[in-house]
Structure 1
Amino acid sequence: MRRQHIGWVAGAAAAVLVAAGAITYAVAEDGGSDTTTPGVESADAGFARDMAVHHQQAVEMSYIVRDRTKNEEVRRLAYDIAQTQANQRGMLLGWLDLWGLPKVSADAPMTWMGMGDMASGKDGALMPGMATNTEMKKLGTLDGKQAEIFYLQLMTDHHKGGIHMAEGCVAKCTVGVEKRLAQGMVDAQQSEIELMAGMLKERGAQPRS
């Protein structure tokens, strides 16, 4: 089990490194149509910062459920989500580096979407769809089918919040390659929400909202 876990982490880390190396070329290629570097308070920077945090929690949830169930379907989904979102997180943080912008802002999360006063931050849930600290701890105490159901419910909520944020970037961001990544997130996560609804139904459960 330990060896498998190391392999999982190594695979995700490798994906992030590949993304970080490739993103310089993507931004450079796209930069021909971008006349200015995004500012610290821009939607581009805000989305990159906030979605990096949002994605990190999805990766953590996926690693937790991986060790709480032996169901291959759920483990495969969790692996795919962890790998994809770790990869994208590396891209988002790489853009902030390239733009010379801080990865942490004094502004409240979601300020770039005009929702800074609505991001509750209650019990660690900083942005739409994020699980609370209590929910994350609960996931780590469940096993088997119970862990699968709770993970699928949490991730469905997480994806819904992520889609809302990504749609905000599609509407407000100015860097073309970032807008395309955001639209890709919308499409992929909507597809996964539909997949998870089916998986929940098979387990006699349903999304929480």
Structure 2
Amino acid sequence: MTADAGRTADSEGRGRTRRVRWAAGGAVVLALVLAGAATFAFARGDGESGVPAADSADAGFARDMAVHHQQAVEMSFIVRDRTDDEDVRRLAYDIANTQANQRGMLLGWLDLWELPKVAPGGAGPMAWMGGDSEKHGDHAGHGGQGASAMPGMATKDELKRLGALRGEEAEVFFLQLMTDHHKGGVSMAGACVSLCAVPVEKRLAKGMVEGQQSELGLMRDMLDARGAKPRS
């Protein structure tokens, strides 16, 4: 084979390699695009119930639980700086990390659905539950917020008190507040499992119920170890 022929063969070989790589790369990009489109459609609910309405259970749960989770994250950060107990600090970290991630998902879905993060028409918290909101008002907390407020939410005075405590007193009050908070969260997530229409959101809500019920048992044991009990 002459030098020119060799160079021609090498060039043709490199050309075939580039074409194969281009085709393979294009297939990967296409697969990612299709997967992304499927995920987009799945989260939107396309093919089943369409994009949720602004006053739907799906949108209402996403809005209210995002606010509910934000307070859990706030309380977890408060107690982290008020105790040296590793078990309480570890629980606070787990709650903050989990609920911050879930909150991001809920707000992301509202953006995906192009829905407002504030209830339409001046509707208050829990309006998406309809008549069920009163049934789930048992865990509305101890601040006199009533059944119309999101269940389990701590009051401003309670958050201020938590920030003023230290050591075991802070640990006990945090565990009591978070127990109320989780009970309320379980009520809200359980209602979404029953009322929401978007499958991926229903699965997230079911996971919230299971995860927070497990943490309720752990917090009950931690309170018992400190000679204390849940408030309700």
Q: Report the TM-score when normalising by structure 2.
A: 0.75
**1:55 is matched with which residue?**
69
Structure 1 residues without counterparts, runs of 5 or longer:
1-22
**Aligned pair 1:136/2:149, yes or no?**
no
Per-residue CA deviation, residues 128-179 of structure 1 (Å, 9 max, x unaligned), is 0010111000000000000000000000000000000000000000000000
**2:123 is matched with which residue?**
107
Per-residue CA deviation, residues 167-193 of structure 1 (Å, 9 max, x unaligned), is 000000000000000000000000000
| Of 154, 168, 172, the match for 2:191 | 168
Structure 2 residues without counterparts, runs of 5 or longer:
1-35
Change (3 A) 1:117 1:176: closer
Q: Report the TM-score when normalising by structure 1.
A: 0.83
How much does 1:114 deviate?
A: 1.4
* Mapped contact 2:152–2:184 kept (Cα < 8 A): yes
Higher relative contact order (CA 8 A, sep 6+): 1
How much does 1:35 deviate?
A: 4.0
* Mapped contact 2:65–2:103 kept (Cα < 8 A): yes
**2:41 is matched with which residue?**
28
Per-residue CA deviation, residues 7-62 of structure 1 (Å, 9 max, x unaligned), is xxxxxxxxxxxxxxxx9874434545434100000000000000000000000000
Larger Rg, first or second structure (1 or 2): 2
Change (3 A) 1:158 1:58: same
Runs of 4+ displaced beyond 2 Å: 23-35, 115-126
**2:102 is matched with which residue?**
88
* Mapped contact 1:68–1:142 kept (Cα < 8 A): yes
Q: Partners of 1:24 and 1:134 in 2: how far apart? A: 46
Code of the aligned partner of 1:160: K
**Aligned pair 1:201/2:224, yes or no?**
yes
Secondary structure of the corresponding residue to residue 97 of structure 2: helix
